[in-house]
Chain A
Amino acid sequence: MTIAQETAASTASAATTRRRSRLDAREGRTALFFLLPSLIGVTLFLVVPIVASLVLSFTNWKLLGKPQFLGFANYVRLFTADPQFWTILRNTLFFTAEYLVLNLVISVGLAVWISSLKMGQRWFRVIFFLPTFTPTIAVAIVWMLIFAPDGLFDTMMRALSWTVPGVLTDQTLAMQAVVVVSLWAGVGYNTVLFNAALDMVPASYLEAARIDGATAWDRFWRIRLPLISPTLFFGTVMTAITSLQVFDQIYVMTRGGPGSATATLGYAVYQKGFQAFQMGYASSIAWVMFALIMALTAMQFWLQRKWVHYDN
């Protein structure tokens, strides 16, 4: 190759690179134009609030007046001085644990039951799914009427000669009522989710097991459940995250009462933030909730190695 040829070749490739980078720059500008609305919105309504929430949690801001930086004082107060906080934390964990277990048991049961049908599967799925598409507030108001003193529930219980004094005003029963309403409102999504997962289990696996003499019980515990365990895991994590934030039902049915028997972290954020206007203190409660969500999710990811089977 002569020197002239070499020079010509390198000039040509340099020109390609230049053209290439000019194209890249143009594509980058187009990308910025496409992303701009989303970026502005996400920055203003997501990134800034996340940072602001953390900063606020270290102050005593009360909406009016000048905020003071307090360091960890809010958090110290929560865990050592606030007489309500441990009750609220206990209520939240109690609700989450009970609701999560019952939701999974019922939704898996319904999913298996529906998948055993030869006809009408999709209609049963729709029926149990309906409440998840309706406002929780409306659901809670209907159930409030059911649980009202001398209402439907009271009447039914009296017919069974079991007198309950006002479910929603009873220290222990109020939380149970909240759990019942949450289950009715929320069990449908997981039912459809697990039913869809069961539909994906190859029929040949079950057939082979049947020929080998496995009972229905064995087929459920040894084949179907392990095969849908990744979906069960997904459902568990999502349900846990939402149940730690429970708010709507409690706002309508009990306002955290009686006393603080049904006050949860979500309700406390609202109450401290928008009724007492202690924005700083409420933010610290919100961050405790966020920490709890992350801890619980991490714990579930750690536990999944013991029970989730990935097919690969």
Chain B
Amino acid sequence: MTTRSKAAARRALVLDILNHGALALVALLFLFPFFWMVSNAVRSNAEVLAIPVRLLPSVFEWDNFAKAWTEQPFGRFFFNSFVIATSVTAITVVVSCLSGYAFARLRFPGRDLLLMGYLGTLMVPGIMLIIPLYLIINSLGMVNTFQGVILPVAFGTFGSFLLRQFFLSIPNELEEAARVDGASRLRILVSIIVPLSMPAIGLLSLFTFIAQWNNFLWPLIVMTGAENATLPVGLTLFQTQQSTAWNYIMAGATLSMLPGIILAILLQKLIYNSIALNAGLGGR
């Protein structure tokens, strides 16, 4: 009896190891395009195009990253992307905190109707808005400017809704005391509500930053000059050139992926919890 249960336990353990190993293999295959990108970034362009293909470069040219950063304008594109993504995030957070607080704590006529309207706009596909948005930006003289890219995407309604939900979960008593002491609503928001809402604000910042960092179509349309291109737009500019420097493009692609990869690994818990919240909401 004991030998049989021991054998069964050993069989279960072997199956378990095989199960882990098989998924690890799938995961490695899944990661292959990342490997291919870096492997092609650190070889000479001739070797990128060489036939037959080589899995690894004959000489590792690690300085291709430095060259892509300075000789090719990827450093400039990186800067543009960073300024745009950071500005949109900052505006979104401030605007959403203010409006989220009004929706969560203040009474005013038509509040629920307005909130429903805000939710309704989430259904509208972004691609539908680009033509009129371009015409607005054009009439404001903001084509090929940073504010032209930033402003139209900085007032999404999702943030207001997300922060409203979070603010509602904060006990009212905390601010009652401050109000008795004569603190203004703005003061309460800044010194009581915001510090308590850092998980939600962090989440909003993260997803806004990544969405803007990865955004392509809108900056493609607004930024007509190459010097103002964001990283994704910059990556496509080289496609049309006669002799494409594929190694530098792969280095640029790696640079463009780096912030997202680092954030996804560092903040995996926050990301998982927020997606789990969606799973739970979908489950009701």
Contact = CB atoms under 8 A, between A and B. Distances in A.
Given A31-B102, A248-B216, A310-B284, A146 B33 contact: yes
Contact of A136 (B51, B214, B283): B214
A109 to B, nearest CB: 10
Interface in A164-200: 184, 189, 192-194, 196-197, 199-200
B264 interface: yes
Nearest to A311: B283
A296 to B, nearest CB: 12
Interface residues of A, number: 94
Interface string B56-76: 000000000000000000000
Contacts of B256: 134-135, 137-138
Contact of B128 (A41, A53, A137, A189): A53
Contact of B264 (A126, A151, A199, A252): A126
Nearest to B233: A137
Interface stretch (A7-15, A83-91, A117-125): A117-125
B136 A48 contact: yes
A286 B272 contact: no
B113 interface: no
B278 A234 contact: yes
B127 interface: yes
Given A126-B264, A127-B30, A234-B278, A283 B131 contact: yes
Interface string A50-92: 1011001000000100000000000000000000000000000
B221 interface: yes
B96 interface: yes
A50 B133 CA distance: 9
A38 B20 contact: no
A28 B282 contact: no
Contact of A27 (B34, B96, B107, B154): B107
Contacts of A143: 33
A274 B137 CA distance: 14
B245 to A, nearest CB: 12
Interface stretch (B3-11, B118-126, B169-177, B197-205): B118-126
A76 B106 CA distance: 48
B183 interface: no
Given A56-B132, A120-B20, A142-B37, A24 B217 contact: no
A177 to B, nearest CB: 13
B157 interface: yes
Contacts of B160: 38
B31 A127 contact: yes
A290 B31 CA distance: 35
Contacts of A197: 279-280, 282-283
Interface string A252-273: 1000000000000010011001
A130 interface: yes
A206 interface: no
Interface string A13-28: 0000000000010011
A41 B36 contact: no
Contacts of B268: 122, 125-126, 129
Contacts of A136: 214, 216, 232
Contact of A138 (B134, B257, B275): B257
A286 B216 contact: no
B143 to A, nearest CB: 12
A100 interface: no
A289 B272 contact: no
B129 A117 contact: no
A145 interface: yes
Contact of A114 (B23, B216, B249): B23
Contacts of A225: none
Contacts of A28: 106-109
A128 to B, nearest CB: 6
B86 interface: no
Contacts of B107: 24, 27-28, 31
A251 B152 contact: no
B214 A134 contact: yes
A34 B185 contact: yes
Nearest to B282: A234
Interface string B73-112: 0000000000000000000001110110110001111010
B283 A38 contact: no
Contact of B95 (A30, A41, A116): A41
Contact of A155 (B52, B231, B235): B52
A46 B157 contact: yes
B216 to A, nearest CB: 5
Contact of A37 (B36, B40, B95, B152): B95
5 contacts: A34-B98, A45-B129, A56-B131, A150-B52, A248-B232
**6 interchain residue pairs of minimum CB distance:** A41-B155, A234-B282, A133-B260, A196-B276, A38-B99, A49-B132
